[in-house]
Amino acid sequence: MASSIIWFSVFLCSFLFQYLLFFSPNFKGVLGQSSPVFACDVASNTTLSSFAFCDTSLGVDARVADLVKRLTLPEKIGFLVNNAGSVSRLGIPKYEWWSEALHGVSYVGPGTKFSSLVPGATSFPQVILTAASFNTSLFEAIGRVVSTEARAMYNVGLAGLTFWSPNINIFRDPRWGRGQETPGEDPVLSSKYGSGYVRGLQQTDDGDKNKLKVAACCKHYTAYDVDNWKGVDRYHFNAVVTKQDLDDTFQPPFKSCVIDGNVASVMCSYNQVNGIPTCADPDLLAGVIRGEWKLNGYIVTDCDSIDVYFKQQHYTKTPEEAAAKAILAGLDLNCGSFLGQYTPGAVQAGLVKEADIDRAISNNFATLMRLGFFDGDPSDKPYGKLGPKDVCTSENQELARETARQGIVLLKNSPGSLPLSPTAIKSLAVIGPNANVQKTMIGNYEGTPCKYTTILQGLSASVTTNYVPGCANVACGTAQVDDATKIAASADATILVMGADQSIERESLDRIDLLLPGQQTLLVTEVAKAAKGPVILVIMSGGGFDITFAKNDTKITSILWVGYPGEAGGAAVADVVFGQYNPSGRLPMTWYPQSYVDKVPMTNMNMRPDPSNGYPGRTYRFYTGETVYSFGDGLGYSAFNHKLVRAPKLVSIPLEEGHVCHSSSCKSLDVVEERCENLAFDIHLGVKNMGRMSGGHTVMLFSSPPAVHKSPQKHLLGFEKVFVSARREALVKFNVDVCKHLSVVDELGNRKVALGEHVLHVGRLKHSFSVRI
């Protein structure tokens, strides 16, 4: 009887707890769950309904104008910083602008935190591996998941609505510690990744471009890709960039982010470009981002950038001048406190007008209006019902695994190596400092993941494994060669999991060489010598390595690059290793030999080669030297054949009568709107899976333009990811816009269509055609 009473009491307490949890907001607060931060809480304060900025029937501009005119100058200045002030008389609470979502909701930045209520969020692979999937629909799908989880966390007071992601800088130099955060070295891939991820984050279910699910931010604008190399750091670096390189390499991803992605924010960088700090450059900010590209949103500094250009770059004599320079250049929001401290003095000194501050905060408020921040209680609005149950769902976690599978790149595969048969392999030796790591798999700008599956765990789920780390960590000061060779000698197959982690490459830390750290090379070589079965080398890293030794070692039968593969990385690697998934990833960056970095300083921003001094150029578009692996490299378990179904032999460009090129020889034509309208053609390609295994295949369409204006050797026009069943064929179509896809940028930064013979490449297939007037 006593036990029945106790059981009933427990049941009753549990019932009351659940009831209070779901129906009493005050009780939730006691548990540490707070409600979302929002303005215009008319339900709690009916006087707010008289303010036009709280009236959702009005347009954004009218609401913003009404709000700005009600603010005092000190209140306005409080809205120029990321930790924005509150105005209680107007029902406006404090708001923290700084949250991050590079590859999942992150705990970096004060705007987001995890708690017992939401202990983790889905952690997708680091961006460089996601980019290797070359799958635009996947980029967008990840963004949708991240924004849903972000909204769910916002609804319980754990996150904001403004996320400073993605990083779309070009991975120009293989030593860059932040290359892992980017989509790689190609402007087209970076553009498609950036605009796709942004659409996934921002687009609301009704498709209204004036509304935002969350607000994304494309960073770091511009020509930013040196963090800390041999004493040169990002706070002091002046990127000397030609107009040609700026407009055909560094700017296109940002342009696409704003125009194609409709991004709500752009972040300016720490570095100078040609002697001017980017956050104080009116041409780059007001001129290009807002003037040419028509940004609908706000421009924000990287954190403390104004402080950096005042104190470390000594760009202005006084802090008030530094504040004024930023605001007058077109900046709207300061990550940091600088504008809060020094804008009052700048106004007093006549360096900046109140109207300039009005413009800046109007852009900030307009973004919050589009997010619904000024629409009152979000619980009865779109996404208001999302909560902890919508974070780390099984579907979201499966998408993280699928993303890693699609990105993993098979770089080498000897006959009889991969895939391994889980039934034939009775013992698997697993060796290496990255074989059983957790946090390494999620890279930087990370959040707490839902759970981890390490590579060792993933492999052990299918076969019996014997594990030796081989090194204490990736630095691998002393390799435990004897222990490793012993298990490899008796195993049916050996998997070595080597590479890097954040101690080797990260923000504020660039590499100085491209070799595997410490004694990793020794460990790999000795294990390969001793192993009796296939030897699979797995490289976990953001940047590439000079692994020529492994490429040429016949005892190393397969090589996989797995990036930083996210929370489900181990399961994804096992799926590829055991043939449950046919690898289809392609390298989004060139892997250079060590000799490249021995002779090329990281600080030389020039993309194009210079034969006069032996400078070899950068990235597959311009680099003239030897590579270890090239951009776009990657194998699968099936061979794919391409055949040309439809393509032109001649493209004619209409020219107005009297144009100079009718009477004299021209190498190129200016890209002008009237000439370019409807000037396009279709390419149709047959893609056949020749193997016995169905799988995805990345079709990459390159063009080699005529050699004018120091044009690229070849450049990517577009790509498509297709799934082709075994022994079956698919048709892939590309629409080539002549002025957009076949143009090059001349020495003055003007876009031109090159006249003459162009060559299209898809795999080994080549097709020549002429562009004439």
Please answer whether residues 376 and 37 qualify as being in contact, where contact means their C-beta atoms are separated by less than 8 angstroms.
no
Choosing from 248, 302, 390, 492, the catalytic residue is 302
Distance CA 644, CA 598 (A): 42
- Check if 492 is active-site: no
Strand residues in 483-563 grouped as ranges (E):
493-499, 535-540, 558-561
Distance CA 194, CA 256 (A): 8
Question: CA 182, 623, 509, 326: dihedral to nearest 10 degrees?
Answer: -60
Supply the DSSP string of 207-233, one letter for each residue: --TT--SSB--EEEETT---SEETTEE
Hey, what long-range contacts does 605-612 have (CB within 8 A, 24 or more apart)? Answer: 605/172, 605/223, 605/239, 605/240, 605/241, 605/245, 606/242, 606/245, 607/172, 607/245, 607/248, 607/249, 608/244, 608/245, 608/710
CA angle centred on 279, ends 273 and 284, rounded to 5°: 60
Residue whose C-alpha is closest to residue 357's, from 713, 5, 688, 74: 74
DSSP code of residue 659 = -
Please answer whether residues 443 and 567 qualify as being in contact, where contact means their C-beta atoms are separated by less than 8 angstroms.
no
Per DSSP, the three-state class of 731 is strand
Distance CA 324, CA 347 (A): 8
Helix extents (H) in 70-116? 73-77
Tell me how many helices (H) and strands (E) the chain has: 24, 27
Tell whether omega for the bond before 709 is within 30 degrees of 0, i.e. cis: no
As annotated, the active-site residues are 302
